[in-house]
């Protein structure tokens, strides 16, 4: 008599290798196509950053301290005097289109800065910048 044929073993474990292969292919496809999908097809002319240019050109400076004191260049003014004094300064020959730089202390509230910017715009300033400290400066 012959010995009975051995029964084949049942496969009880799931083979995850093909699943991982498919998942990795999908991740690679996503990484390759994502940058193409994030940008719009609209033609845009991006502005250039001008961080150091303000130091080399003529400008008018408005300084705002935490105590509420203000100065237009080197002349101290009250908040009520800022607008007419700045309008007078901008009306001087050679000051059309001059850059107005607002230098505000870190502790000044946003409302004060917003009002200062609005006053500068109302006085006729066309170019306004807010001064910041560059990295590495103390």
Q: Considering the chain, what is the average pLDDT of its residues?
A: 80
Cβ atoms of 66 and 113 closer than 8 Å: no
- Global confidence as pTM: 0.56
How does pLDDT run across 92-120, given as a tens digit for each residue?
888 778 888 888 888 888 898 899 999 99
In a domain, 39, yes or no: no
Domain count, the chain: 1
Q: Is residue 50 part of a domain?
A: no
CATH of the domain at 90: 3.30.420.270
In-domain check, residue 123:
yes
pLDDT surpassing 70 at residue 1: no
pLDDT at residue 68 is higher than 70: yes
- Phi and psi at 58, nearest 5°, equal -70, 135
Task: Note whether residue 88 is domain-resident.
Answer: yes
122 or 37: whose pLDDT is higher?
A: 122
Convert 93-107 to b/e letters by CB count within 10 Å (16 or more is b).
eeeeebbbbbebeee
Domain assignment of residue 77, yes or no? yes
Helices (H) and strands (E) in the chain, counts: 4, 5
Q: What confidence tens digit (pLDDT) does each residue in 21-34 have? A: 999 999 999 888 87
Residue 76 lies in a domain: yes
Residues of the domain holding 121 = 57-130
Would the pLDDT of 52 be above 90? no
Is 13 within a domain? no
- Calculate ∠ Cα 53-55-58, nearest 5°: 95
Give the pLDDT score at 6. Answer: 80
Question: Residue 86: inside a domain, yes or no?
Answer: yes
């Amino acid at each position: 008599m012959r010995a009975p044929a051995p029964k084949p073993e049942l496969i009880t474990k799931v083979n995850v290798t093909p699943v991982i292969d498919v998942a990795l292919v999908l991740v690679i496809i996503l990484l390759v196509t994502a940058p193409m999908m994030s940008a719009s097809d609209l033609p845009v002319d991006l502005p250039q950053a001008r961080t150091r240019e303000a130091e080399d050109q003529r400008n008018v400076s408005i300084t705002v301290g935490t105590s509420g004191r203000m100065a237009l260049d080197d002349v101290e003014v009250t908040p009520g005097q800022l607008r007419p004094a700045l309008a007078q300064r901008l009306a001087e020959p050679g000051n059309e289109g001059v850059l107005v730089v607002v230098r505000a202390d870190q502790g000044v509230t946003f409302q004060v800065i917003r009002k200062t910017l609005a006053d500068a715009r109302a006085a006729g300033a066309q170019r306004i910048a807010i001064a910041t400290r560059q990295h590495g400066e103390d």
